[in-house]
A and B are shown apart, each in its own frame.
Chain A
Amino acid sequence: MNSPTSSPNAPDRFSSSRSWFERAARVIPGGIYGSKSPGFLVPGHFPYFLSSGSGCRVRDVDGNEFVDYLCGYGSQIVGYGNPRVDEPALAQIAKGDLLNQPHPAMVELAERLVATVRGMDWAVFCKNGTDATTLAVSIARADTEKQIVVAAKGAYHGAANWCSSNVFPVFMAEEQRNIVWFEYGNTASLEQVFERYRGRIACVILTPHHHPTFTTQVLPPEGFFPAVERLCSAEGAHFIMDDIRANFRIHTNGSHARYGANPSLVAMGKAMANGYPISALMGSATVRKTASSFFITGTYWMSAGPMVAALATLDEMERMGGISRLESLGTMLKKGLESLGTEAGFRTRVSGPPAIPFLTFDEDPNLYLNQEFCSSMADRGFFMHPHHNWFISLAHRESDIEATLEAAREVFALMAGRRG
């Protein structure tokens, strides 16, 4: 397999990025931590520090511009710097963002979400996806008075010790002791878990489709969610939908509405406020009493600016064409990439829903080809992550997709040539 080659551009294309990284590494463990770490991309082909974004484009500290298919890890859905979101949000921040008591925008947003997200009766707000999923699991445990949390292998539900990839013995012995994993979409595997842990299961937490890093995404098979609901119902356990990454890219009424699923708790975040820091936990009427008795708080959880941004984002998504527009753009990219890849002799596969695509090569589970493809695309000004699913936003236009496919044609040909 070929490794990504050097950038055809100037060798110092990312000199400022590297310089900032050297400074960062002196005072920040790892320089840049977590999923934004340079090692998660392909160093030498991607910037480490970005300075601005506009629409579907981001610009790095060296002045390089990219058509962005990561969208702030999904948080951007109506485009960077969208004035219809930024103006009301920034106006509220100027008037007062974090006050002693909540702003009425909190009520308006809860009303709006309850009216929008199917089957949900209430909403509370926090900041990150981890806040919402951790709160969901805690409420499920309190409500059922049981401990076991069932999750799919490879699923990401946040960075808290109970679910993170920090697999240290000290966490395994406590926080992760009651987390049980099964194969996503495999009803038999889930049934075995329920059989083994009968009477001890508090909840099953799932994403609407399986989106692990480093591999293809998996859509829920027919009959999977009904089986989850049947097993949860018999056990008296809750079904939690972690919709953080996918929300408002699959269905306007929550991704579970698309798949006919009926969770009792839904965690949302990322795209709901177009990058302003807010997440939400929503629940059905059956869990309201327990949620009411829960002490839910965080210093910044009731800041008004992001709530105003969320309200504006919900409006703007519809104005810009909503789900059908996202799917149209995503399908154009998916079909184009698969077709171009096949023409060049590769077994390309674009998995996941159209608005959350991810390209893999069936002949290369080790992802050398992903790295080669994405780094070559980055060299040409397209930010496509080699290991993490991509996102389409409503700020992308057909002309952006066309330009992407034109560059992809060149890259596939280059890769085919290298492969001989």
Chain B
Amino acid sequence: MNKSYGDLGGEELRVLAGIRLSMVARLCEAVAAQASGTNPETSSRDFSLGFGVPGTGLSARLARRDGTVRAWFTSTSGEKAPWSATSGFLLFPGSLACAKALSGGKGAILPVPLSPSFAAGLSFFRAAARRAPELLAAPATSPEVKAELLLAATLGGLAAAAADPYLAPRLDHFPDGIVEIACGEKQGRGLGKRGRSIRILDAPAAPFPDTPSAVLRFASAEAAVAVLSGKRPAVVALGSGEVSIHGLLPLVQGLFAVLDRLSWYLALTPGNPKEPHA
């Protein structure tokens, strides 16, 4: 059933805002990680830019230190980002404004600069957020780059979607563990599920400390792009051998349920909603 943002209750709107925030942050991180030529801007000044929706517990951070950009997201009040020094904040007055602004629509944003590096952070964010869809749409972009971007966005979305109360019984029902999500023979990205939370394990360059509970592997970057962009149903790709799953199947099956819910949120249209009263 097609729904718009206006059909959502306050809690769902918060989840949607979290998904958009987490996905955009992860996409910006992934864009920055690509080889030169795809990098959104040339400045290398360090920054730490925070994003937040006051009163919701939603916050994200994009930070660059020594040339490396990292993204961080939480939907839980009180958690601290690993790199906490802030250049400043981009604050959204509510979940709806956040969801709209980060899905390409018009939404109010309040910039709060705290140091001169804010300009570098804002410049990076604008360039990366613009560059990501360009890269994904460009025929010249390699499937490997597209797969990296889509995977980053999907993982970001999964981590945020897990906060949806709708998923709570599903999350209770499937086992905890770490899933390695890999493309071809490359080292995969990790997703950890514990209780009702899902976290991205940021160790792409190093081997996993423990054997993952399960491995979901795309046979190729092309397969990953087809599935992660929604052009190829995952179940068909699985049957055709373009995707394989090994290890603790119930864990991966459970994540598919979260992925379904993520797709539901991403299919929502901004419509003509009003910010609900809390």
Contact surface of A with B, Cβ cutoff 8 Å: 1, 3-4, 18, 21-22, 25, 30-32, 37-40, 42-44, 48, 165, 167-169, 172, 214, 365-368, 371, 387
Q: Flag if A1 contacts B211 (CB, 8 Å).
A: yes
Q: Flag if A371 contacts B246 (CB, 8 Å).
A: yes
A382 to B247, CA, bound (A): 21
Q: Flag if B236 contacts A21 (CB, 8 Å).
A: yes
Q: Flag if B169 contacts A367 (CB, 8 Å).
A: no
Q: A3-B244, A165-B173 are in contact. Are A43 and B239 (CB under 8 A)?
A: yes
Q: Flag if A167 contacts B239 (CB, 8 Å).
A: no
Q: Flag if B241 contacts A31 (CB, 8 Å).
A: no
User: Top 5 A-B pairs ranked by shortest CB distance?
Assistant: A38-B239, A25-B236, A3-B246, A366-B248, A366-B247
Q: Flag if A43 contacts B244 (CB, 8 Å).
A: yes
Q: B residues 235-252 with Cβ under 8 Å of A?
A: 235-236, 238-241, 244-250
User: Of A21, A37, A44, A165, which is within 8 A of B244 by CB?
Assistant: A44
* CB neighbours of A18 from chain B (8 A): 239-241
Contact surface of B with A, Cβ cutoff 8 Å: 166, 169-170, 173, 177, 211, 213-215, 233, 235-236, 238-241, 244-250, 253
A376 to B141, CA, bound (A): 39
User: Of A21, A48, A165, A367, which is within 8 A of B247 by CB?
Assistant: A367
* CB neighbours of A169 from chain B (8 A): 166, 169
Which of B213, B244, B249 has the most C-beta atoms of chain A within 10 angstroms of its own C-beta? B249
Q: A22-B240, A44-B244, A167-B169 are in contact. Are A3 and B249 (CB under 8 A)?
A: no
Q: 20 A-B residue contacts at CB 8 Å?
A: A3-B244, A4-B246, A21-B239, A21-B240, A31-B235, A38-B239, A39-B249, A40-B249, A43-B239, A43-B240, A43-B241, A48-B239, A167-B173, A168-B170, A365-B248, A366-B211, A366-B247, A366-B248, A367-B248, A371-B246
User: Of A30, A32, A172, A214, which is within 8 A of B250 by CB?
Assistant: A214
* CB neighbours of B241 from chain A (8 A): 18, 43-44
* CB neighbours of B233 from chain A (8 A): 25
A368 to B251, CA, bound (A): 13
A179 to B254, CA, bound (A): 21
A365 to B247, CA, bound (A): 9
Q: Flag if A172 contacts B169 (CB, 8 Å).
A: yes
* CB neighbours of B169 from chain A (8 A): 167-169, 172
Q: Flag if A39 contacts B248 (CB, 8 Å).
A: no
Nearest to A39 among chain B residues (CB) is B238
Nearest to B168 among chain A residues (CB) is A169
Q: Taking chain A's interface residues, is the majority helix, strand, or loop, or is none over half, making it mixed?
A: loop
Nearest to B177 among chain A residues (CB) is A366
Nearest to A172 among chain B residues (CB) is B169
* CB neighbours of A3 from chain B (8 A): 215, 244, 246
Q: Flag if A31 contacts B239 (CB, 8 Å).
A: yes
* CB neighbours of B238 from chain A (8 A): 38-39, 43
Q: A3-B215, A169-B169, A366-B213 are in contact. Are A25 and B247 (CB under 8 A)?
A: no
Known: A168-B170, A169-B166, A214-B250. 7 other contacts (CB 8 A): A21-B239, A22-B239, A31-B236, A38-B238, A42-B246, A365-B248, A371-B247
A370 to chain B, nearest CB (A): 10
Q: Flag if B173 contacts A30 (CB, 8 Å).
A: no
* CB neighbours of B177 from chain A (8 A): 366
Q: Flag if B250 contacts A366 (CB, 8 Å).
A: no
* CB neighbours of B250 from chain A (8 A): 214
* CB neighbours of A31 from chain B (8 A): 235-236, 239
Q: Flag if A387 contacts B246 (CB, 8 Å).
A: no
A224 to B247, CA, bound (A): 32
* CB neighbours of A366 from chain B (8 A): 177, 211, 213-214, 247-248
A165 to B253, CA, bound (A): 11
A18 to B245, CA, bound (A): 17
Q: Flag if B249 contacts A22 (CB, 8 Å).
A: no
B223 to chain A, nearest CB (A): 13
Nearest to A173 among chain B residues (CB) is B169
Nearest to B214 among chain A residues (CB) is A366
* CB neighbours of B247 from chain A (8 A): 1, 366-368, 371
Nearest to B174 among chain A residues (CB) is A167
B67 to chain A, nearest CB (A): 35
Nearest to A29 among chain B residues (CB) is B235
B74 to chain A, nearest CB (A): 24
* CB neighbours of B166 from chain A (8 A): 169
* CB neighbours of B235 from chain A (8 A): 25, 30-31, 37, 39
A12 to B27, CA, bound (A): 38
A167 to B246, CA, bound (A): 23
Nearest to B252 among chain A residues (CB) is A39
Nearest to A14 among chain B residues (CB) is B241
A277 to chain B, nearest CB (A): 26
Nearest to A372 among chain B residues (CB) is B246
B109 to chain A, nearest CB (A): 33
